Amino acid sequence: MRKLCLASSLALVLSVTGCGVKNPPLQIGSSVAGNWAFTAANQQLDLNLGFTQGSYETVSAVGRLHGVACISPATDILLTGSVSATNQMTLVSSPLNGSTVTLRGQLAADSSGMAGTTLTFSGGQCASLGTKAVTAIQYSPIGGTYTGNFIDADGNLLAVSAFLEQTTQPNADGQFTLSGTATFPPNTCFVQQPTLTQSVVTGSSLSMTYADAGSTATINASGTFNSAATQLTISSWQIQGGPCNGNFGTGLLNEQ
């Protein structure tokens, strides 16, 4: 009779694998996830990436590249690759009109940053760009209650309180979205409190659209945020429709 899991010659193997039990794979390198930006120094070139899969050996991300003529900023760039046992990440894009983009960097052990990062352009119209040193920044998810003021062109303050929560996974364009609510003080611009209907978060940039269900008024806001996602700088907001149509200004919101 064949003996199962008893042969002494298999003792070492069984001590690791067990008998008929599939163990999970060993961790190789650090994992990487979330919203990242890779920006070249002294040049308007940046790659915003949303990592869709980043557990150890297998890594993939989708992003958009800004500041180069050979690739449209509206083109989605799919990169796939891996993180080695020494935390060296290498991602290579799918072909883009004959060009490929390779992203390399040394991922921190706790996945909080990346050093020695480069973007290399090969083949096609992008080949002349060569290799660019880039700074890697990971942006924490926007989440929580943010309060502050919107300021219009005449210097009037409009107090704002917003609860926002960012998605954990990027969409097909490598971008994240927000859900939540906002509270504006009673004013003549809105019939009801506007609700968040559209949003995009990518790299350090965000845009939001709030709509008033009681009227045709909407408020569009866009700006940037810091890497810790504790401060939202609204570089531009504008109301469309309703009695305040055309009002515009800036704002600043801080996480509470």
Picking from 139, 173, 199, the residue at the C-terminal end of a domain is 139
The percent of the chain in helix, strand and coil, each rounded to the nearest 5, is 5, 55, 40
What residues contact residue 250 under an 8 Å CB cut-off, 6+ apart?
A: 150, 151, 234, 235, 236, 237
Q: Which of 86, 90, 85, 114 is nearest to 100 (CA)?
A: 90
Structure tokens at 2: 């064949």
Structural domain span for residue 250:
143-255
Q: Which of 139, 157, 191 is the last residue of a domain?
A: 139
- Asked whether residue 129 falls in the same domain as residue 197, the answer is no
Residue 55 lies in a domain: yes
Averages of pLDDT over each 10 residues, the chain, 256 residues: 39 37 49 93 87 76 94 96 90 94 94 94 95 96 97 92 96 96 86 93 97 93 98 97 94 98
**pTM for the full predicted model:** 0.85
In this structure, the answer to whether residues 95 and 147 fall within a common structural domain is: no
Supply the pLDDT for residue 55.
Answer: 59
Whichever domain contains 214, its CATH number is 2.40.128.30
Output the pLDDT for position 3: 44
208, 233 in Cβ contact below 8 A?
A: no
Pair 128, 150 in one domain: no
Do 250 and 193 belong together in one domain? yes
Query: Residue 194 in 3-state DSSP?
Result: coil
Say whether both 165 and 179 belong to one domain. Answer: yes
Question: Which two tokens mark 69?
Answer: 């003529």
Q: Are residues 198 and 238 in the same domain?
A: yes
Tokens of 174: 């490598």
- The CATH number linked to 55 is 2.40.128
Residue 13 burial by Cβ neighbours in a 10 Å radius (0-12, 13-18, 19+): exposed
Same domain, 245 and 150: yes
One domain, residues 207 and 227: yes
In a domain, 1, yes or no: no
109 and 168 share a domain?
A: no
Asked if residue 9 is part of any domain, the answer here is no
169 and 121 together in one domain:
no
Q: Does any domain span residue 6? A: no
CB 86 within 8 A of CB 195: no
HSE-up of 13 (CA within 13 Å, CB side)? 11
Element holding 13 (H helix, E strand) = helix 11-17
Q: Residue 138: beta bridge partners?
A: 36
Total count of domains within the chain: 2
pLDDT 10s digits, 38-56: 999 876 799 999 998 765 5
245 and 152 assigned to the same domain: yes
Angstrom distance (rounded) from CA 197 to CA 218: 10
Q: Please say which residue of 91, 108, 139 terminates a domain.
A: 139
8 Å CB contact between 74 and 50? no
